[in-house]
Chains A and B, each alone.
Chain A
Amino acid sequence: MKLSFYPGCSLEGMANDYARSIQAVFRELEIELIEIEDWSCCGATAAHSLSESMSVLLPARNLAAAEKLGLDIVAPCAMCFNRLRYSQQMIRKRLFDIPWPVTGEIQVHDMTRFFAEPLMITSIKKRLLKPLSGLKVVCYYGCQMVRPPKITGYTDYENPQTLDRIAAAAGAEVIDWSYKSTCCGASIGIARREIGESLTKRILQKAEQAGAEAIVVSCPLCQSNLDIFQKDRPDRRIPVFYFTELLRLGFSRIGDPHWFKMHFTDPVPLLKSKGLL
């Protein structure tokens, strides 16, 4: 099986651990990822805030490159996924002139939904060497992956299940909670720290109240926001994992994946106490 892979800017910097764990997991599942050649940024919030046509053009360039490959795209970052899908819809409406040859007919997968397909779930379960039993987690989806449903195609946007299914397949104990898709503030923390902190604080608090020992995410920005803004809770820190990190952990009998060093909230003590490292 082959897929074209659109990593996005974050995976080269802030979320390098995500990128490395994705490569490891796909290698394990024997799916070949072909990185889109000479990809460029999707424009994220800035492009659609300042110029609508820029927000259609920027992802369109990558869509055109993927169409040349003729492979479906899988996007690990929620924002990239959302922008690619949005651009595709606008291209199909033919409201903008796109300088590249692009039809917008290629399938864009969000990485979690790709893994949550029944076929992939069985394949994950088959390769699991070390189930993450006893690890109590809540899954946090953020906003761009599920909303707006017209663009993302999620029908269960009120209570999304993809990450829950993946974490359960990896053997973790998944707890239900109400803040699955509440916004974490995204990049607003850079310009307005107080707003960003108030939003992440509430999510962390609710995760703790639900009885979670860790949070599972799939968005690089959600991970950094939830991971970094935990200074005010020194004794009640909650590690924030990418779901691929958990899968990677379950796939290997022995392991101390070195990318845990990139976490601000060190997950190693928790994993050791559960006998998972």
Chain B
Amino acid sequence: MHNMASNREDGPEREPGKERKLIGDRGDFFLNRIQGEAGVNISACYQCERCTNACPVSHYMDIKPHQAMRYIQLGWREELLKSSTIWVCLSCEMCTTYCPNEVDVAATINHLRNMAAHASVTAKDKSLAIFHQTFLEVLVTSGKVNEFRLMNAYYSKPDILKQKMKEGALKEEILLGLALLRKGRLKLYTPRSRAIKELRQAGHRIRGEIV
């Protein structure tokens, strides 16, 4: 016991950014808050890793789903909101379905995504967040989502255009778009739904404006 305590104080200096974090140094505020808002009993997670093993994209995640649950228990908020995990998650609900303790992992990650969308933390990989954002922009302006408009709006976002050019994937995307057009799979114009005004109002209300 004595040894362990002295080890912690005299142990090797850690690189900046990799300092040892103490368990529960934030208290359980973050845990309680997420549990309340998402309606999920995250304390029930005992790290069996069933969620991570079921996840089809866990190898593209920097924090695995079971680790994300532990991070919440420990209150490590910024790491979670910055992670690629929350955006790579497909919401395919494998984790939720197979959790032996009925922890709704997918809903929790979805809630983190909601939080990240309203937080000032910058995500490591913005492309997926921008895609969702563009989707909603197109939705609010016409009530329906036209794939042609969605793709145009998405690829003309400066960040995405830059990234696709750097990867050299732009040509491929344009060719795919042309092939889709030739096959008659893209509709160039969708009539607007009468819902726009109502949807916009709902949008205002969500942003906390009083209408």
Interface residues of B in 142-178 (CB under 8 A from A): 143-148, 151, 154, 160, 169, 176
Complex Cα distance, B145 from A190, in Å, reads: 15
Q: Beyond A52-B114, A183-B92, is A46–B56 a contact (Cβ under 8 Å)? A: no
Q: Which segment of B45-53, B64-72, B179-187 sits at the interface?
A: B179-187
Q: Are A39 and B193 in contact (CB under 8 A)?
A: yes
Q: Are A9 and B146 in contact (CB under 8 A)?
A: yes
B35: interface (CB < 8 Å): no
Q: Which segment of A53-61, A68-76, A131-139, A240-248 sits at the interface?
A: A53-61
> Interface extent on A, as a size class?
35 or more
Complex Cα distance, B132 from A190, in Å, reads: 11
CB proximity of A272 to chain B, nearest CB, Å: 20
A12: interface (CB < 8 Å): yes
Q: Beyond A12-B144, A40-B195, A192-B88, is A183–B94 a contact (Cβ under 8 Å)? A: yes
Q: Are A191 and B131 in contact (CB under 8 A)?
A: yes
B122: interface (CB < 8 Å): no
CB-contact partner of A13 in B135, B136, B186, B206, under 8 A: B186
Tell me the interface secondary structure of chain A in the complex: helix
Q: Are B146 and A38 in contact (CB under 8 A)?
A: no
* Chain A positions near chain B (C-beta within 8 angstroms): 9-10, 12-14, 16, 38-41, 43-54, 57-58, 61, 99, 143-144, 147-149, 157, 182-183, 185-188, 190-193, 195, 199, 224, 228, 261-264
Known: A14-B147, A191-B130; 4 extra A-B contacts, CB below 8 A, are: A49-B113, A51-B114, A147-B96, A192-B128
* Chain B positions near chain A (C-beta within 8 angstroms): 56-57, 60, 88, 90-94, 96-97, 104, 106, 110-111, 113-114, 117, 125, 127-128, 130-133, 135-136, 139, 143-148, 151, 154, 160, 169, 176, 179-180, 183-187, 190, 193-195, 198-199, 201-203, 206
